[in-house]
Amino acid sequence: MSAMRCVQNPQSMQELGLEWRRQGLRVGLVPTMGYWHEGHLSLMRWAREHCDLLVASIFVNPTQFGPGEDLENYPSDTKRDSALAAECGVDVLFTPRKDEMYLPDHGTWVTVPELTKNLCGRSRPVHFQGVATVVCKLFNLVQPTFAAFGEKDWQQLAVIRKMTRELDIPVRVEGRPIVREADGLAMSSRNVYLTPEERAVAPHIQKGLCLLESMIRAGEDDCAVLRRGVMEYYAARIPTGVLDYLELVDPERIETVDHIRTDVLAAVALRIGKARLIDNKRINLEK
């Protein structure tokens, strides 16, 4: 097996990607902001099995952070990530610099307004514009056959799928299941912000979603009742938590529903100390 190649310059990455496309090679891409956990590694291992060449990118994208968010403090350990990439069989690790991804006069943005009014888009208004723009750029630079994303960021996945489809970008977007700690907490680079006391109560985020599903399975279809039940659960189990949102939405349109009539996505964002943690659960109703 050849040694992993590290590429920083975007033009060099694009030249490689175009050459691979000319050769008819299947190229997989796993875009990340680094500080990898098992969720990231699971994407790479899965992608490795489905491509000829695997690219992983590390880029803490400044345009998806709003004022007062954690851009400056976002955890980073590129040396560790690089070693993990090699272990996962990554062929090229792409680590572009901010000033090369966004030139000083950058003024072109990709927006998907229909899917970004709700959930994270409501409290982070610039977030998905930054996400869609940088993913579009990565697709153009790497020229992948497919790209793998985690379903923890469900709204992000929906945005990227719609963008890719409607801009006719020849990339297959693959969503992969949430990877969790043994106690159920969704893996996130931001989990490192949690104190031991906060980490001890954080698994109740997922347990609240499981409670909501059990209420639906028991016949409750009023979303106001469902939300109230879970919010009471969070208030009792995570008393220091500050709820950003708890919504039941259509999984594709990301629109809030009032009553459960078909499959639904329960999505939550909760601040615990310095960490803003998100989680979701897709609830499929029996036909």
Q: Kindly report, residue by residue over 173-196, the tens digit of the pLDDT.
A: 999 999 999 999 999 999 999 999
pLDDT at 225: 98
pLDDT at 141: 98
pLDDT class of 198 with cuts at 50, 70, 90: very high
**Which residues lie across from 181 on neighbouring strands?**
none
Q: Which amino acid is at 30?
A: V
Closest CA to 139 of 103, 177, 105, 110: 110
pLDDT at 237 over 70: yes
pLDDT at 287 over 90: no
Could you list the residues known to form a binding site for ATP, using ranges: 33-40, 150-153, 179, 187-190
Residue 147 parent element (H or E): strand 146-150
What would the two tokens of residue 122 be? Answer: 């409501």
* Averaged pLDDT, 142-168: 98
Cα(57)–Cα(66) distance, integer angstroms: 22
* Averaged pLDDT, 200-220: 98
Instruction: Write the CB contacts of 285 (distance below 8 Å, at least 6 apart in sequence).
Output: 216, 260, 262, 263, 264
Catalytic residue among 40, 106, 127, 204: 40
In contact, 195 and 268? CB cutoff 8 Å: no
**From 2-6, 9-13, 37-41, 128-132, the region with the lowest mean pLDDT:** 2-6
Instruction: Write the CB contacts of 104 (distance below 8 Å, at least 6 apart in sequence).
Output: none
Q: Is 40 a catalytic residue?
A: yes
Instruction: Write the CB contacts of 115 (distance below 8 Å, at least 6 apart in sequence).
Output: 121, 128, 155, 158, 159, 162, 253, 254
In contact, 54 and 91? CB cutoff 8 Å: yes
Average pLDDT over the chain, rounded to whole? Answer: 97
pLDDT at 62: 97
Cα(251)–Cα(265) distance, integer angstroms: 5
pLDDT per position as a tens digit, 101-114: 999 999 999 999 99
pLDDT per position as a tens digit, 52-92: 999 999 999 999 999 999 999 999 999 999 999 999 999 99
pLDDT at 165 over 90: yes
pLDDT class of 169 with cuts at 50, 70, 90: very high
pLDDT at 2: 73
pLDDT at 1 over 80: no
pLDDT per position as a tens digit, 249-286: 999 999 999 999 999 999 999 999 999 999 999 999 97
What would the two tokens of residue 243 be? Answer: 């709820």
Q: Structural domains in the chain? A: 5-176 (3.40.50.620), 189-281 (3.30.1300.10)
In contact, 212 and 230? CB cutoff 8 Å: yes
Q: What is the DSSP string of 40-89?
A: HHHHHHHHHTT-SEEEEEE---GGG--TTSSTTT----HHHHHHHHHHTT
Could you list the residues known to form a binding site, using ranges: 33-40, 64, 150-153, 156, 179, 187-190
